[in-house]
């Protein structure tokens, strides 16, 4: 199949490929993509989920063998840059083996209050800078019925390529936005009827089991990094602190694992009771 907007390229320095250059440079891409109002979707699965969520592609980059299988998600008028594997690797900095890349227009962030309307279970991630953890946490939230995810201003970009890939595209499934300012945003959660629980190891922390025994109608779980944990001002501003019961001398979990455990334990039953 020959698509009308297919452009065959053999020069990695072609200016039209600027959106896809140096994808392995985390610092560069973290600045470049939000500033240009775009993000990179990697793999046919992620691209399809992004398009299904209403996100608009700006351009595609792929090997010739993927053209036919991707044809149904390529809108008219959107350029499709096609190159052989060695050229693709030189452009992106890695071996592209997941089908295709798409430069996607970044949608505007939604208002926190909009996402809290009708929500019962919210996860707030504070200052998580590892994109893998962000993606894994989003996947857990999608699987375990979290209604909304809120990221503090210093959190890594949920639409960064690695975060999207690790999330398996669920970053397009769970509503999310930035909550700013923080921790002053705790008051916004309270104003919408949420009990705000910090997952932290404090002297007065209650067990997750105790929280689940009498769960609040609307609950916001706040989690930080495994090493540093939550800011003292965040812990002080929350309604209570909660710890996950552990054994074997282990006192903490990776944040994505902690999200999964806490979200599963506090999930709203299927009957909504």
Domains and CATH numbers, the chain: 6-105 (3.30.1330.30), 112-265 (3.40.1280.10)
- Cβ neighbors of 225 (< 8 A, separation 6 or more) are 126, 127, 128, 129, 255
The whole-model pTM stands at 0.91
Query: Would you state the torsion angle of the CA atoms of residues 37, 43, 46, 48, taken in this order, to the nearest 10 degrees?
Result: 100
Write down the number of H helices and E strands in the chain.
11, 12
Residues 29-57 pLDDT 10s:
777 778 889 999 999 999 999 999 999 99
Residues 103-162 pLDDT 10s:
999 999 999 999 999 999 999 999 999 999 999 999 999 999 999 999 999 999 999 999
Query: Would you state the torsion angle of the CA atoms of residues 78, 83, 86, 92, taken in this order, to the nearest 10 degrees?
Result: -10
CA–CA dist 124, 231 (Å, integer)? 13
- b/e per residue 90-114 (b: at least 16 CB within 10 A): ebbeeebeebbbbbbebeeeeebee
Q: Quickly state the pLDDT bin for 1 (edges 50, 70, 90).
A: very low
């Amino acid at each position: 199949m020959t698509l009308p907007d297919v452009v065959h390229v053999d020069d990695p320095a072609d200016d039209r490929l600027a959106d896809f250059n140096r994808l392995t440079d985390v610092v560069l891409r973290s600045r470049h993509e939000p500033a240009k109002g775009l993000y990179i979707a990697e793999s046919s699965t992620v691209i399809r989920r992004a398009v299904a969520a209403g996100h608009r592609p700006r351009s595609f980059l792929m090997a010739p063998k993927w053209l036919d299988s991707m044809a149904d998600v390529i809108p008219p008028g959107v350029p499709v840059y096609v190159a052989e594997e060695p050229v693709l690797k030189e452009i992106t900095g890695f071996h592209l083996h997941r089908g295709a890349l798409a430069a996607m227009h970044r949608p505007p962030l939604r208002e926190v209050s909009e996402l809290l309307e009708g929500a019962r279970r919210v996860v707030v991630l504070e200052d998580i800078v590892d994109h893998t953890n962000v993606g894994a946490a989003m996947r857990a939230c999608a699987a375990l019925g979290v209604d909304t995810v809120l990221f503090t201003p210093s959190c890594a970009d949920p639409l960064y390529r690695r975060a999207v890939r690790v999330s398996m595209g669920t970053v397009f499934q769970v509503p999310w936005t930035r909550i700013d300012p923080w921790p002053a945003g705790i008051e916004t959660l309270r104003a919408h009827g949420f009990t705000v629980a910090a997952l932290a190891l404090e002297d007065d922390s209650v067990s997750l089991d105790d929280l689940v025994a009498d769960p609040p109608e609307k609950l916001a779980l706040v989690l930080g990094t495994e090493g540093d944990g939550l800011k003292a001002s965040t812990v002080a501003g929350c309604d209570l602190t909660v710890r996950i019961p552990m054994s074997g001398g282990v006192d903490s979990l990776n944040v994505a694992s902690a999200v999964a455990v806490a979200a599963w334990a506090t999930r709203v039953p299927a009957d909504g009771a």
